[in-house]
Amino acid sequence: MKSLFVFSLLSAFSLYAQISGLVTDPSGARVPGATVIAIDADGHRVTTTARADGSYAFTGLPAGRYEVAVRSRGFAVFHADDLTVTGSGNVHVDARLNLGRLTENLVVAAPGQRAQLVSQDSGSPKPMRIGGNVMAANLITKVTPVYPPDMKAQGLEGTVVLQTVISKEGAPLSLNSQSSDVNRAFVDAAIDAVKQWRYKPTLLNGEPVEVITTITINFTLSQ
């Protein structure tokens, strides 16, 4: 009977497993304090926090399918989907966090260009690098787009969405329009202005890095 009890107990424990891994930033440094969430197929959530060395672990998980989400201030959310947990094994999921995107919204009104800007905002003996410290870019020089005279005369309005990369020096690079259904005059006016914008660069662990930015400019006519 004792042997049967021990076997039953071991069988019960064998139904549980764990998901574990490391949370790092784009430089490879560990990110302590990140919020890590495990979600099973029924939508049940278990939350933990990355330790001081960037590691995390969920133990005692029932067998099944899971997804893992990792959040940390200044970073885009990391997702790992369709993870299968079986038996008493360990599913290893390392989360490499990418920098979050910046967004800028600008309203250009005519007559009397009135602009409004809104900014928004992831056992070795060798010493490990602890990172995860992100200081987002700040717009320090803004040139307001000029409302195209022809569009104003025709009573036309438009919204231009630009995507760019802010360089390590704080200058917009390779401005690309994401708006296919807006008059080109609006796009050209937006690009002419935004290419003169300057930012205080985004810093990752004290070092400047490039970051993707989406800029929305609304050209509107005041009544």
Cβ 217 vs Cβ 145: under 8 Å: yes
Taking the whole predicted model, whether its pTM rises above 0.75 is answered as no
Tokens, residue 149: 């005279």
Per-residue pLDDT at 60 exceeds 80: yes
Q: CATH for 102-221?
A: 3.30.2420.10
In tens, the pLDDT along 96-152 reads 998 887 787 888 887 644 434 344 444 444 566 566 677 777 889 999 999 999 999
Q: How far apart are CA 110 and CA 146, in angstroms?
A: 9
Q: CATH for 2-96?
A: 2.60.40.1120
pLDDT category at 15 given cuts 50, 70, 90 is low
Please report the pLDDT score of residue 87 as a whole number.
74
Please report the pLDDT score of residue 130 as a whole number.
67
Helices and strands in the chain, H and E counts: 3, 18
Average pLDDT taken over every residue of the chain? 82
Q: How far apart are CA 167 and CA 209, in angstroms?
A: 7
Please report the pLDDT score of residue 8 as a whole number.
42
Domain extents for the chain?
Answer: 2-96, 102-221
Cβ 120 vs Cβ 145: under 8 Å: no
Please report the pLDDT score of residue 131 as a whole number.
66
In tens, the pLDDT along 158-205 reads 999 999 888 999 999 889 999 888 999 999 999 999 999 999 888 888
Per-residue pLDDT at 207 exceeds 90: no
Please report the pLDDT score of residue 217 as a whole number.
93
Tokens, residue 206: 């004290």
